[in-house]
Amino acid sequence: MSSRNPLAAILGCAGPVLTADERAFFGETDPLGFILFARNVETPDQVRRLVDDLRAAVGRADAPVLIDQEGGRVARLGPPHWPTYPAAARFAERFIHDPDAAIEAAELNARLIARDLRGLGITVDCAPVLDLPVAGADPVIGDRAYGNAPPQVIALGRAVCRGLLDGGVLPVIKHLPGHGRARVDSHQLRPVIDAPWEDMEATDFAPFRALAGMPWAMTAHAVYTAIDPDRPATLSPTLVSEVIRGHMGVDGVLLTDDIGMRALGGDFATRARDALAAGCDIVLHCNGDRSEMAAVARGARPVDADGQRRLAAAVPPPPLDFDPEAARARRESLLG
């Protein structure tokens, strides 16, 4: 992190090229960083130019650039310029028969993803998903999960984090304190999870506690009635301070899920203000809509002292030496 104190927001842009209006807006508002989606992606050279232009707009070469590159159906990079990566469920299935093979394959897979991202200048991957789906849950998590047993999800999630970090990319554990019980998709509706604390403590919370030392984490836009019956986790001071920071021990950069999702009510300035007031370090707004981003900027504040400290500790490491062709072959062999 530079010595400047940017706006506590990660924002998107509308297309594959930064417009003059976007450049001026980002220069004026100075968001901490940016997130890319499929609409921003055409070719490797184009993505590299866009990443450089986004960082130049805020005058910070270390501005975080994020992407959702989980594999499976959540992948912003894909053919013909980037390979298709397996969904988390593929590693979960392999784990049942050969845990060691699944763990090694998950780590190699994440290392390959990190190589793709690092080569584009992308420094943060919004993965892994550590949620534990239950019967009857909405399929929004589904095959994005590494299983529904805490030890398995912990082992595979840790392997993914290790692979990303070895490739010089920061992982984001998500969605705290656990989205697996949600019976509706928070992109469209607000999930209300009525499970008792004891049940969540024994299952949903376990992967996040085990990986609490990861550099970034992301909140869920779900209500947990046993903790705060009135506010979703993203907007709940009780949930952020007492559960995520206190009970789970998460001290990495805490990012909201996309505040453009319909699970949150109110205008965008209020959403941003309330999320930061609840204890989130950074608000995430993804769709690149100029008027919505302007409202987010009005509601957000500069990164506070705790956020600055966490960001300073979350510096992408230099990638380790790596043979991608050998890694691909080994991953395929391990997955059978």
Averaged pLDDT, 144-161: 97
Q: Are 299 and 272 in contact (CB under 8 A)?
A: yes
3-class state of residue 326 by DSSP:
helix
Residue 3 pLDDT > 90? no
- Total of domains in the chain: 1
- Using one digit for the tens of pLDDT, what is the confidence trace for 219-258? 999 999 999 999 999 999 999 999 999 999 999 999 999 9
Domain membership flag for residue 41:
no
Q: Supply the pTM of this predicted model.
A: 0.96
Is the pLDDT at 1 greater than 70, yes or no? no
**What φ, ψ does residue 40 adopt, rounded to 5°?**
-95, 0
- Grade residue 107 by pLDDT with cuts at 50, 70 and 90: very high
Question: What would the 3-class secondary structure string for 83-142 be?
Answer: CCCCCHHHHHHHHHHCHHHHHHHHHHHHHHHHHHHHCCCCCEECCCECCCCCCCCCCCCH
Give the confidence band of 164 by pLDDT, cuts at 50, 70, 90: very high
Q: What is the pLDDT of residue 219?
A: 97
| Closest to 233 in 3D by CA, of 241, 242, 224 | 224
Give whole-number Cα distances, 67 to 126, 170, 302, in Å.
6, 11, 22
Active site residue 175: no
Pure H helices in 203-323: 205-210, 237, 268-278, 290-299, 305-313
In angstroms, the Cα distances linking 52 to 45, 57, 165 are 11, 9, 22
Using DSSP bridges, classify how beta strands 65-67 and 124-125 pair: parallel, antiparallel or unpaired.
parallel
Segment 35-88, tens digit of pLDDT: 999 999 999 999 999 999 999 999 999 999 999 999 999 999 999 999 999 999
Tell me if 299 is assigned to some domain. Answer: no
Tell me which residue has tokens 């989980």.
Answer: 70
Is residue 128 over pLDDT 90? yes
Question: Cα(91)–Cα(271) distance, rounded to whole angstroms?
Answer: 36
Instruction: Assign 184 a pLDDT band (cuts: 50, 70, 90).
Output: confident
Work out the percent of the chain whose per-residue pLDDT is above 70: 99
By three-state DSSP, how is residue 203 classified?
Answer: coil
Assess if residue 74 is contained within a domain: yes
Here the tokens at position 283 are 């608000």
Of 208, 217, 207, nearest to 170 by C-alpha is 217
Could you tell me if residue 38 is inside a domain? no
The pLDDT tens digits of the residues spanning 283-314 come to: 999 999 999 999 999 999 999 999 999 999 99
For residue 210, tell me if it sits in a domain: yes
- At residue 262 the predicted structure's pLDDT band, cuts being 50, 70 and 90, is confident
Asked if 67 and 126 touch (Cβ cutoff 8 Å), the reply is yes
pLDDT at 264 over 90: yes
Q: Which of 257, 258, 274, 281 is catalytic?
A: 257
Residue 39 lies in a domain: no
Report the pLDDT value the prediction gives residue 189, as an integer from 0 to 100: 76
Is 100 an annotated catalytic residue?
Answer: no
Residues pairing with 124 in the sheet: 66, 170
Residue 2: pLDDT band by 50, 70, 90 thresholds? very low
Within a domain: 139: yes
CATH of the domain at 119: 3.20.20.300
Inside any domain, residue 230: yes
Q: Which of 98, 185, 187, 304 is catalytic?
A: 187
Mean pLDDT value across the chain: 96
Range of the domain at 323: 7-32+47-55+64-290+304-335
137 confidence band (pLDDT: 50, 70, 90): confident
